[in-house]
Structure 1
C-alpha cells in the first residue's frame, strides 16, 4: 500500500512539475535545498560568503525546511515542496546536503547541475543505500521507490579513501565524485580569538580542569552508553567530562556534564583537551585539531551487525578504541597517545586540511554557473 501511495505521489509531483519546467526561465542562480534544518548550515553560510566575495551579486536562494510530524506537518511540507520544484525549474546549480524528494523523484531540465554536499565530513558508519534493509537502515523497497539519492551530477567527498563509501551510499559512479573537503573545515582549523577567555569567564569552575568532550552519534542505546562514561569520570578531579548530544537526540542534557554559555560543537572541540566519540563523523572533524581522540564503542559488535561500519576503528585506531569506560579513562590519564596513528587517520579521510575549502568549492560552483545549456 505504501509503495502504491509513493507512485501516486510521484505522479502528482510530475504533473505539477511539467508546467513549471515549461514556463520557468532558467536563471544564473544557486539554490540550496535541505530537510536537515530550517536554518543555514555552517557549510552553507561559508559557501554563500565565499561565492559573494568571488562574484558579488550572484543570486543564492535558500529553501530549508524540516518535515514536521503529523498530517498537518506533512501537508505544509508539500506546499514547501512545490516551491522547491519551482526553484529547481529556474536554477542552474542546485546544492543539497541530504536526500531531496524534489531532486531525486523528478526529471529535470538539461543543464541543471545538482551537487550533493553531504552534511557530514565522511562516514564511519554505513548510511544511505549502504544501510538499506539493516536493522537501523531504511526500508529497501520504499527507498528504491522514492529513488533515494538519484539525480546527483556531483558528490563532494573529502578523500579518495572515502570515495568508495560514498559511491555505495549514493549509488553513483566514480566520475561523479569530486574530492573536496567541506567549508566547515576552514572554521574548525581557524583558531577563535578570545574563545578560551570567554569560556572560562562563563565557566570559572573549569579553569583548573582538563576538558574531555564526548560527542556521541544518534542511536537507541545513547543514554546507557553515555552513563558508562559519566560514571568513569564522575570522581575525576583532573578531568571534566562535557557531553554534547547529537542534534536529533531526545536525551535531556545532564547539568553535571554540561557547560554554561552558547558554544558550537566546533568551539568546544577547540577548547577540549581530549575528544571522545563513537561512530560519529565528527571523528574526522576532531582529527583536524590533532588532539587526543578516543572511540568509546561498548556495542561495537552489535552495531557492526545492526548497522555496519565503513571504518574499522579497531584496526585503524587500536590504541584509542575502547569498549570499557574505565579503561578509556585510564588511558587518557596515562597521557601516552599515538599521534602518528591519529595523523594517518586524518590524512586518509580528510585530504585538504587547509583554510581554503570554501574558496575552492565557490570556484567550482561558479564554474558550473558559467556553463551554457540549451534551456537557458
Structure 2
C-alpha cells in the first residue's frame, strides 16, 4: 500500500470515529450544501434566496469555491479545510443535524452518511455531461488497492439521489457510481440554469470574431499548453478575423505563462466561463465538459484532440467518443483550420448533441431540486442503509 492510500485510510478511519461520536445528533428541517465548484452552488443559492424556501440552508465552502461566499451574506456558511480535523468535525456535525446534504463532487466526507437513514445525500455533480470515464469506470482503478476501491464505494453508496440533465448522463452515473434508476432525479442540472437567463457581462472583442479555447486538465502535463492556432495562423490563414481567447484550468494556469499577442491571443483564464461562452463565436475544446454547456447556446464548436490516443490510454475516454462529439476529432492544426472554414456544417450535429445531453435542463433545474428537497423533508422517507 502506497503512502497516499495509507493516509486516505487513516482519514477515513478518523471520519468513522467522528461519525460514531456524533451519532446522538438529531436532524432538523435544514439542508447543507457542500461546495467544490461554484456554478451549481450559485444557481441553487440564487433560487433559494429568490423563492424563500421554508427550510434553513447552510453552505460549507471548500477552498475552490470560497470566493462565492461573499455574494450570499444572508445564507449561513463557513469555509472548511478538509485537512483540518476540527473543520472535519464541524462539517460532520453540520451534515448530521440536517435532513439533506447536497454535494457536487467526490468527497470522502459524505461516506459518514452511508448508514445514516435520517439524512439524505443528493449528488448534483459538477458537469452536465461526460467525455471522460470516472468512478467505477475510471481506468486509474487498475492501479488502486482493494482498500482504495472499498473506500470509493463507501462514498458512492452515500448518494441517495443523483440529479441529471439527460438519460445519457443517467446511464453513466449508473455505471460509474453503481446507483439504481430509482435514485436518478431527472430535474436537470442547476449549473445550466444560467444559460436561460440574460445576465451576462459584455466583454470587449475589438470587433473580431472570438474563438474560445478551453482545454481540459491533463494531470500528466501541467507545465505547458498546446494552442490550436499560432499567431501566424491567426494573422495569415485566418486573415486577422479571429481573436483567440484561452481559458486554462486553474491548476494549469499556475504553471503556465501564456504569451499574449495584441489582437490575436488573449489569456482569459480569470474571467467567468459563462460570460466567455456567451461572448465567443466558436468554442474549441477536447475532452472537457464545457461543450455540454456551450451547446445550450446553439453555437458551433470544434475539437482539438492532438493527443487523443495518449489521453485515452492515460485518462480514459467514454466509449465511442468520436461518435458522441458534434463534429470531427481534429488531430492536427491543419484539420482544425479546415473544420473552422466549414464550421456551420456542424449545426445539426450541435442540435443533436444538445438535445441528447441537456434533455431535462430547461432553466428551472434549481427550482425543481429545491422543491424535491422540501418534499423529502416533509415526507421523511429514505431508502434502507447500505450494508
TM over 0.5: yes
Aligned to 2:34: 33
Aligned to 2:69: none
1:140 Cα deviation after fit? 4.8
Residues 211 and 360 (structure 1 numbering): CA distance in 2 closer, same or farther, change over 3 Å? same
- Kindly indicate whether residue 61 of structure 2 is the aligned counterpart of residue 53 of structure 1: no
Q: The residue matched to 2:352 in structure 1 has which SS?
A: helix
- Kindly indicate whether residue 348 of structure 2 is the aligned counterpart of residue 345 of structure 1: no
Residues 336 and 45 (structure 1 numbering): CA distance in 2 closer, same or farther, change over 3 Å? closer
Deviating above 6 A after TM superposition, structure 1's stretches of 4 or more consecutive aligned residues are: none
Residues 239 and 282 (structure 1 numbering): CA distance in 2 closer, same or farther, change over 3 Å? same
Can you give the 5+ residue segments of structure 1 that lack an aligned partner in the other structure? 68-72, 201-205
Q: The residue matched to 1:218 in structure 2 has which SS?
A: coil
TM-score normalised by L of structure 2: 0.82
Residues 105 and 358 (structure 1 numbering): CA distance in 2 closer, same or farther, change over 3 Å? closer
Residues 241 and 75 (structure 1 numbering): CA distance in 2 closer, same or farther, change over 3 Å? closer
Moved more, 105-114 or 293-302: 105-114
- Alignment match of 2:23 (pick from 21, 24, 48): 21
Aligned to 1:327: 335
Cα deviation digits, residues 145-172 of structure 1 (max 9, x gap) = 4234231100112111122211122222
The 2-side partners of 1:244 and 1:7 are apart by 36
1:46 Cα deviation after fit? 1.8
Aligned to 1:212: 211
Aligned to 2:317: 309
1:280 Cα deviation after fit? 0.4
Q: The residue matched to 1:370 in structure 2 has which SS?
A: helix
Cα deviation digits, residues 247-284 of structure 1 (max 9, x gap) = 33233343333257963111110000100100001110
- Kindly indicate whether residue 251 of structure 2 is the aligned counterpart of residue 243 of structure 1: no
Residues 315 and 20 (structure 1 numbering): CA distance in 2 closer, same or farther, change over 3 Å? same
Cα pair 1:20 1:86 within 8 Å, conserved:
yes
The 1-side partners of 2:197 and 2:161 are apart by 27
- Alignment match of 1:369 (pick from 364, 370, 377): 377
- Kindly indicate whether residue 142 of structure 2 is the aligned counterpart of residue 144 of structure 1: no
Residues 9 and 31 (structure 1 numbering): CA distance in 2 closer, same or farther, change over 3 Å? same
TM-score normalised by L of structure 1: 0.84
Cα pair 2:302 2:339 within 8 Å, conserved:
no
Residues 48 and 336 (structure 1 numbering): CA distance in 2 closer, same or farther, change over 3 Å? closer
Aligned to 1:175: 182
Aligned to 1:192: 199
The 1-side partners of 2:225 and 2:258 are apart by 14
Cα deviation digits, residues 105-142 of structure 1 (max 9, x gap) = 5544322110001011121111122115368xx73535
1:56 Cα deviation after fit? 4.1
Cα pair 1:65 1:80 within 8 Å, conserved:
no
1:369 Cα deviation after fit? 2.0
Aligned to 2:74: none
Q: The residue matched to 1:295 in structure 2 has which SS?
A: strand
Q: The residue matched to 2:185 in structure 1 has which SS?
A: strand
Cα pair 1:29 1:91 within 8 Å, conserved:
yes
Cα pair 2:100 2:373 within 8 Å, conserved:
yes
Aligned to 2:286: 278
Aligned to 1:70: none
Give the paired residue count: 354
